[in-house]
Structure 1
Amino acid sequence: MKKDTDIVFTKPSLAEVDLNNQRVAVVGGTGGIGREFAKVLAQKGAKVIVVGRTFRDENVEGIEFIKADLSLVAEASRVGKFLPAENLNYVIFTTGVFAAPERKVTSEGLEEDMAISYFSRLVILKELVSRLKEHEGKRPRVFIMGYPGDNKLEGCDDLNSETSYGAISTHMKTVTANEALVYYLKNRYDFINFHGLNPGLVKTNIRDNFLGKNSWKSKAVEWLIGMTNQTAEQYAKKIVPLLAAPDLESLSGQNFDKNADAILPSEGFTDEFNEGYVNASEELLKKLGLAN
Structure 2
Amino acid sequence: MTRTTTPFGAQSTASEVIAGVDLTGRRAVVTGATGGLGRETARALASAGAEVTVAGRTLKTATDVAQEIAAGTGNPLTRAGQLDLADPASVAAFVAGWSGPLHILVNNAGIMATPELRTPAGRELQFATNHLGHFAVTVGLHGALAAAGDARVVVLSSVGHVNGPVRFDDPDFTVEPYDPWLAYAQSKTANVLFAVEAAKRWAADGITVNALNPGRIWGTGLGRHMDAPPASFDPSGTSGVSEKNIAQGAATSTLLAASPLLDGVTGRYFEDCQEAAPHTPGVRRGVAAHAVDPDSARKLWDLSIRLTVRDQ
Structure 2 equivalent of residue 23 of structure 1: 27
Give the match for residue 290 of structure 1. Answer: 311
Structure 2: distance between partners of 1:200 and 1:126: 27
- Give RMSD over aligned pairs: 2.6
Percent of residue pairs identical: 23
Contact 2:107 2:134 in 1 (8 A): yes
AA aligned to 1:159 is P
Q: 1:100, CA displacement in angstroms?
A: 1.9
Verify: 1:206 aligned to 2:219, yes or no: no
Q: Please say if 1:7 is aligned against 2:4.
A: yes
Deviations 1:29-63 (A, max 9, x none): 11211011111111221110011123242233132
Partner-residue secondary structure (3-state), 2:19: helix
Matched with 1:214 is: none
1:118-145 CA-to-partner distances (Å, cap 9, x unmatched) read: 111011112111332354xx51000010
Distance in 2, matches of 1:69 and 1:13, equals 29
Count of residue correspondences: 274
Name the structure 2 match of 1:115. Answer: 128
Mapping 1:1-292, distance limit 5 Å: 6-8=3-5, 13-53=17-57, 54-55=61-62, 56-57=64-65, 58-61=67-70, 62-84=77-99, 86-101=100-115, 103-133=116-146, 135=148, 139-147=150-158, 151=162, 152-164=164-176, 165-190=178-203, 191=205, 192-203=207-218, 204-208=220-224, 210-211=225-226, 217-218=227-228, 220-221=229-230, 224=233, 226=235, 228=237, 229-237=243-251, 239-257=253-271, 259-264=272-277, 265-268=287-290, 269-286=292-309, 289-291=310-312
* Partner Cα separation in structure 1 for residue 147 and residue 263 of structure 2: 11
Deviation at 1:23, TM superposition (A): 1.2
Give the 3-state SS of the residue equivalent to 1:105 in structure 2: coil
CA contact (8 A) 2:106 2:257 kept: no
String of CA shifts for 1:228-279, please: whole Å, max 9, x gaps: 522112332454244323242331112210x211114431333221111122
Amino acid in the other structure paired with 2:96: K
Q: Deviations over 1:182-208 (max 9, x none)?
A: 111111111210010111211211121
Unaligned runs of 5+ in 2: 9-15, 71-76, 238-242, 278-286
Q: Deviations over 1:163-190 (max 9, x none)?
A: 1211011111101111110111111111
CA contact (8 A) 1:13 1:241 kept: yes
Amino acid at match of 1:283: R
**Does the 8 Å contact 2:33/2:39 carry over to 1?**
yes
Deviations 1:94-114 (A, max 9, x none): 11001323x111223221111
Give the SS at the match of 2:217: coil
Secondary structure (helix, strand or coil) at the match of 1:160 reads: coil
TM-score, length-scaled by structure 1: 0.84
Distance 1:223 1:266 in 2: 22
State the secondary structure of the residue aligned to 2:210.
strand
The residue type paired with residue 154 of structure 1 is V
Output the amino acid matched with 1:108.
A
Comparing 244-253 with 47-56, greater Cα deviation is found at 244-253
Alpha carbons 2:214, 2:250 under 8 Å: kept: no
